[in-house]
Structure 1
Amino acid sequence: MKVYISAIITSKPEFQDEVREALMDLVKATQQEEACILYDLHQDIDDGNRFLFYEIWEDQEGLDKHNQMPHIKTFQAFSQGKLQVPVMVYKAMKI
């Protein structure tokens, strides 16, 4: 069963450019993953500090592998102290 993810990342204003660059690096690496169907990054028009990922994964196993990938771990370490709030992740199924 496919897994649909919406993730919201909100940077502190002074780190907006750094966070955006790091997220764009995540896109490049993640789109190479076998279970990745879609991994799109968006930036809020009204609040440039807010970024939204829309993701589709082949299955939960593929998503679990993604969450253990080095590029994810690198972003998690990098983002410490650079985000306004913890990353918000919403996992859904298509109906």
Structure 2
Amino acid sequence: MFVVNATVPVNPEDRDEAKELFADVAEKSRTEDGIIDYRVSTDVDDPNLFRIFEQYEDDEAFETHMQTDHIDEFMAQLPDLLGGEVDATRFDVESSSELEF
């Protein structure tokens, strides 16, 4: 399993359009085989910074995801909305467990 954590800054004037785009790609991505979780949220300190959390079973699931029509559409529209550099990190996970709070 692996996790991708990305931060995506958007132009303030394009925030509403970006929010719709992120919501659409998240909804469609969560229906794919091999995707454990796919979430998008906004930063509490910066409403123009979107945070994406993606959790995949394996590399094949990620590669299949990257070839979907909704990712093609997302990647075509995203550059016009960006307000800075995208930062994405992959974390390879050997095990996980729940924490109690």
TM-score, normalised relative to structure 1: 0.92
User: Hey, what does 1:38 align to over in structure 2?
Assistant: 37
User: Hey, what does 1:3 align to over in structure 2?
Assistant: 2
Q: Which has the larger radius of gyration?
A: 2
Inter-partner Cα distance in structure 2 for 1:30 and 1:21:
14
User: Hey, what does 1:58 align to over in structure 2?
Assistant: 57
Inter-partner Cα distance in structure 2 for 1:82 and 1:55:
21
TM-score, normalised relative to structure 2: 0.87
Q: AA paired with 2:41?
A: H
What stretches of structure 2 of length at least 5 have no aligned partner? Answer: 95-101
User: Hey, what does 1:28 align to over in structure 2?
Assistant: 27
**Once the 2 structures are TM-superposed, how far is the Cα of residue 77 of structure 1 from its aligned partner?**
0.9
**Per-residue displacement from partner, 1:19-71 (whole Å, max 9, x unpaired)?**
01100001110000001101111110111010111111010111011111110
Inter-partner Cα distance in structure 2 for 1:38 and 1:78:
23
How many pairs align? 94
**Once the 2 structures are TM-superposed, how far is the Cα of residue 80 of structure 1 from its aligned partner?**
2.2
Q: AA paired with 2:9?
A: T
Structure 1 ranges of 4+ moved more than 6 A:
none
Inter-partner Cα distance in structure 2 for 1:86 and 1:78:
15
Give the RMSD, CA atoms, in angstroms. 1.1
Q: AA paired with 1:8?
A: T
Inter-partner Cα distance in structure 2 for 1:73 and 1:33:
15
User: Hey, what does 1:74 align to over in structure 2?
Assistant: 73
Identity of aligned residues (%): 29
Q: Which moved more, 1:74-83 or 1:18-27?
A: 74-83
What stretches of structure 1 of length at least 5 have no aligned partner? Answer: none
